[in-house]
Chain A
Amino acid sequence: MAKIDESFVKVRNLKKYFQTGTAIPFLKSPPAVKAVENVSFDVFKGETLGVVGESGCGKSTVARLLIQLIKPDAGEIIIDGLAVEKRGGISTRDLRHRMQMVFQDSYATLNPRMPIEESIAFGPISNGKKPSEAMLKSKHVMDQVGLDPNIYLHRYPHELSGGQRQRVNIARALAMGPEVIILDEAVSALDKSVEAQVLNLLTDLKSDLKLTYIFISHDLNVVKYISDKVMVMYLGEVVEYGTVEEVYNTPKHPYTEALLASQPSMDPSRKLDTVPITGDPPNPINPPSGCKFHTRCPKVTDMCRTVNPNLQSTNVGNHLSACHLA
């Protein structure tokens, strides 16, 4: 069983390649998208880990691997000391009692022909709860996410606004009584004024229910606001990991620096006038050799082109960076 100081979710050397097209015997197999490679990290109980990176960096794949929507090619996921889908560990079914996920598209994730009440009760019922108990539970979780059960429980998804639907999705995750919730771009599709409401709700739920969040987003400001620790990903690899203060105030990886510098300033008198970093992210089917960032890095050396740096400790606490120059 887990000791007190041990991490609650532990991920070691996770790897996932997606095959493009189908392999034909005797012919060269089609190229694979190297979505996630050698990703390791820890999430401690009660903290929020923010995962940032550009599209195609593998952050959503990590989320889907964690909750076993797709199976990893290699690597271990350990929750509360129990290895997922390993002998003596925890099954996927039990895992999903402890870990739930909220997706970006609040409409696509709800069954359009099911009233909200049934959608929320679906998980508990299919896990053996009595329907009457499950319905009671859905009332309770609707209250928790700030929607009046008497008004909304019998409505259909199309009758709700985007923000309300995302609250329903959070309620549905809560109905399973999870300890960890993965939020994959959960507020990205919402308007700013509604996004703030949902972020406030998430903050309240976290402290009321002692939840642990894995919060995935491309929006650096939102991640900074909600997270305790941050993990920065680039082309399927973790390039930097540390507390929010460390990563945002003293970034150790040139990619993190560039990402932070690319944020619009919000101050009309301090507009950017030079481009922090040129080029587009490379194609993950054919990533660059050595350090994957070397094609865009302003500080590139010869070693960077051939040797891929490991994620290693910088001199400060638990601040990790995958850069030869850090």
Chain B
Amino acid sequence: MTQTIAIVGANLCGWMTAAALARRLPYAAYQIMVIDDGAAGDGLGDFAPMITVPPALVAFHAEIGLDHAALVGAGGGHALGVAFDGWRGDGSAAFLSYGETGAPYEAIAFHHLVGRLRATGANVRLADHALAAVAAQTGRFASDGSIAHAVHVRTDRYSALLRSLASNAGATASSTPLAAVHSNADGIVETLTLADGSEITPLLVLDCSGSAAVVAGRTSPAFEDWSALLPCDRTQVALLPAEGAPPPYTQVDAQDDGWIATWPVDGVDVRLICRVGGEGHPFRAGRRVEAWRGNCVALGAAAGVLEPLHPTALSLLLRSLARLIQLWPATPRAPVEAAAFNRAGAAAIEGARDFLVAQYAVAGRAGAFWDDRRSASLPEHVVAKRDLFAARGRLPMYDDEPFEEEDWAAMFDAMGVVPRRYDARADLVPVDAIERHLAENRARIIARVRALPSYAGVAA
């Protein structure tokens, strides 16, 4: 007997879900049906007509056979990192790159070596020791995958590519939108009724309808509001003609009440303002308390929303899909699977939230909005990370959090947090040996960058 998996939301989130599942579900046993929720949007927060695809998704694209060149298209949209302007108290800019920064020496992490040098009065910038950052600075790039990078892509094109892959793998799209949901008190969706009156009895409903959460909003209404931690609640997008060749990175400028990002996509600069109040698209940071309840699993923005400062929406979705496959249920009622899914999912999105909260809390920019971010009552894990990093450049790490230790260290450093102490083992290496190690590493980076073509050529 064929069981129906109803994906609600014929958008980027829905087709990504369909493409991932179509590859993994036995074709004969499951029918994957993507149902239009009747709303426009990407299911991932609807922040912009484009989205940032982080490096981690490149492997997934290869797995499902998505053509990277077709995805990015002409006109560029590659990002080697993010330039943060105006975040620090000293007014200086900072660059957070994808890929590795520096290299360890005698098993001592790079940023501890830097700590030692800084203690001698040297002025060392981490970005000068990251291949991606130096390439970005000099406007060079390689599209052969030899440098870790993200891409900015148009959501309509991305969604269409995923749709065609999912359709080829057997997923179908309903021709009419969802009209009604019939669920019981345990959150089990018994039937979905479409606009043409046809009824679907699903094994699972995957709610990809974005913040509206047209199904999960009924079956699992409890929502944890994080606006006290992340008060930005409006975004506004402008598409500006790009002047000259696009830079191979994202630009994010701090503002008095939020930030502005500039994402070069396809020959256009997508300018996004994210701030508290004002005009624009409203959103609320937070997460659904039980993303999986009954037989409905909320994915993407239906499960939780974070402002798009870092490209976490797609990586969180991908993690959720991998977890869903691991915990695939046999029957509509699967409380053990749901609990395991929700536990890891909560830790993942909270980890992503904490990264944002921490960045705001350590940014030194002056102003009431920024003062409030610093003096807010912070989550316990943020306090522990901030304090231990400030003390000695180390980071406590927790289960299922999506950012790695190096990501945290790089972010804190970019925001200007200088640890009071560093790994004691760095004191045992002579300063000139560390200087030599850094110089050699930088020489290698510069040699590699010199061999790269100019980005203007790649993006043309």
Q: Do A and B bind each other?
A: no
**Which residues of A are in contact with B by a Cβ distance under 8 Å?**
none
